[in-house]
Amino acid sequence: MTATAYRTFYETTYRTIVKPTEEILGQAQHSSQYLGHKIAEWITRVMPERPSGLLLDIGCGDGIIGATIASDLGQQVVGLDPNPQDCQQAREQGIDIREGSFESLPKENFAGILCIRTFDHVLEPIRGLQQLAKRLVPGGWMWIDILETTKNRERFGPVGFWKIDHPFYWTEQTLRQTLMCTGWRVLDHGYASKTLYGAICQPKA
């Protein structure tokens, strides 16, 4: 699939396929706000001293998770998502959001980057991580997570774990190794839910 076709899929088709499936599989058992509070608490524990400034929430969907994290951290956030319906829903809630993809980042530099339930969907993950490392202010950080393939297969079986919208299937080890090979230093890592594995990281000096 070309990058253009992949972007079109997310702009027009993704939500109509995935949202009902997520409800059937029970992946929405934790509310967006609950997950946001949990990630914010984790970031605060690992990085009690952080740069102030704007956060970027990539692939933010309706923006609730990122807005919750930003509020808990006392910072502002701008969202980025390719789906027009999600962008409109976020704007209706007063969330600052721009229509775009992982490959079309805003021009600003950010104090922190949130990549929540997004990296599994990225077509060029190596290039993307290299670009993100250049978009942080000194001392800036990133939260990134994946739907961990091994745990997800254990939970849903050899058929249920398969995702039409995931070009790659990540594990704990492959995520950490990819981060380290693309210029990132992992500060902490672990599970935010039963299958959502995340890491807090910074660009290597």
pLDDT digits (tens, 9 = 90+) for 139-162: 999 999 999 999 988 887 876 666
Indicate the pairing of strand 110-115 with strand 136-147.
Answer: parallel
User: Residues of the chain with pLDDT > 90: what percent?
Assistant: 62
Confidence tier at 5 by pLDDT (50, 70, 90):
low
Mean pLDDT of 199-205: 95
Give residue 163's pLDDT. 72
| pLDDT (average), residues 75-84 | 93
Minimum mean pLDDT range among 26-30, 163-167, 178-182: 26-30
pLDDT at 176 over 50: yes
Q: Tell me which amino acid residue 121 is.
A: H
Distance CA 96, CA 77 (A): 7
Q: Which of 6-10, 74-78, 98-102 has the lowest mean pLDDT?
A: 6-10
Structural domains in the chain, sorted by start: 3-203 (3.40.50.150)
What amino acid is encoded at 169 in this protein?
Y
Residue with tokens 């997950």, as numbered in its chain: 35
Write the CA distances from 40 to 37, 46, 118, 167, 201, integer angstroms.
5, 10, 17, 28, 14
β strands within the chain, DSSP E: 55-58, 77-81, 97-99, 110-115, 136-147, 184-191, 196-203
Angle at 101 (CA atoms; ends 180, 133), nearest 5 degrees: 25
Which pairs with CB-CB distance under 8 Å and at least 24 residues apart come from 8-16? 9/165, 10/82, 10/83, 10/101, 10/121, 10/165, 11/82, 11/83, 11/84, 14/83, 14/165, 15/83, 15/85, 15/86
Q: Give per-residue pLDDT as tens, 17-30.
A: 555 544 444 444 35
Q: What is the pTM of this model?
A: 0.85
